[in-house]
Structure 1
């Protein structure tokens, strides 16, 4: 199994109480239950591929003439122009 290290962590009381109940019901120590949970999370997350956002940019020539970049009120008005109130 290898070397062990001691550490201190804060666990919300309801989570700890439920973990203790599960450990008792399964006849294992809290340490075993916590280690099992950590191993499962570490294993699952290490297999995950990093999220990559699809490039959804469009070709264009920047903002419309007369619109200042960052002028969200004007941009909003142009987007909703002719679409109701």
Structure 2
């Protein structure tokens, strides 16, 4: 997509030199710079806080928590009882 932006002459000259040194067009260089800035911005966000449960009954006896089948069977059994 084409667009027009106003860039300081000295900044533009520096960007052209850096793009040429990396065998990129000015457009490719600007696109990469914007992409990196957006990535850096999203990486700087605070991590999402998730709840941690430290108390409770835990896994019901007899259910193998490492087996998907055992977990699904336990869910099915709970649903059939309700």
> What is the TM-score with the length of structure 1 in the denominator?
0.49
**2:14 is the alignment partner of 1:14:** no
Q: Which residue in 1 is equivalent to 2:29?
A: 33
Q: How many residues align?
A: 46
Q: CA deviation at 1:25?
A: 1.4
* Superposed structure 1 runs of 4+ greater than 6 Å apart: none
Higher percent of residues as helix: 2
**Root-mean-square deviation over aligned CA pairs:** 1.3
How do residues 1-85 of structure 1 correspond to structure 2 at under 5 angstroms? 5-49=1-45
Structure 1: state its 5+ residue gaps: 51-85
